[in-house]
A = this chain, B = another copy of it.
Amino acid sequence: MATETEPIAQPRVPLSRERVLHAAIAVADEGGIESLTMRKLAEELGVEAMSLYHHVANKEAVLDGIVDVMVGEVDEALADSDTPADPVEWKPTMRKRILTAREIMLRHPWAPGVIETRTAVSLVLMRYFNELLGILREGGFSYDLAHHALHALGSRALGFTQELFKPDGDTDEEADMAMLEQMADQLPYIVGMMMEVSHDADDDSSLGWCDDQAEFEFGLDLTLDGLERLVEAG
Contact = CB atoms under 8 A, between A and B. Distances in A.
A155 B151 CA distance: 14
A190 interface: yes
A2 to B, nearest CB: 44
B219 A227 contact: no
Contacts of A163: 154
Copies in the complex: 2
A151 B190 contact: no
A59 to B, nearest CB: 13
B188 A115 contact: no
A211 to B, nearest CB: 10
A152 B123 CA distance: 29
A189 B155 CA distance: 20
Contact of A133 (B116, B130, B189): B189
Contacts of A151: 161, 210, 215, 218-219
A116 B197 contact: no
B121 A193 contact: no
B164 A155 contact: yes
Given A116-B116, A223-B223, A226-B225, A152 B218 contact: yes
B168 A120 contact: yes
Contacts of A130: 186-190
15 contacts: A120-B166, A120-B169, A121-B164, A123-B186, A127-B186, A130-B190, A131-B189, A133-B190, A134-B189, A137-B189, A151-B161, A154-B161, A162-B162, A222-B223, A226-B226
A232 to B, nearest CB: 14
A115 B186 CA distance: 22
Given A113-B116, A137-B192, 11 more contacts: A115-B164, A118-B166, A121-B164, A125-B164, A127-B186, A133-B189, A133-B193, A144-B196, A152-B218, A158-B164, A219-B223
A155 B148 contact: no
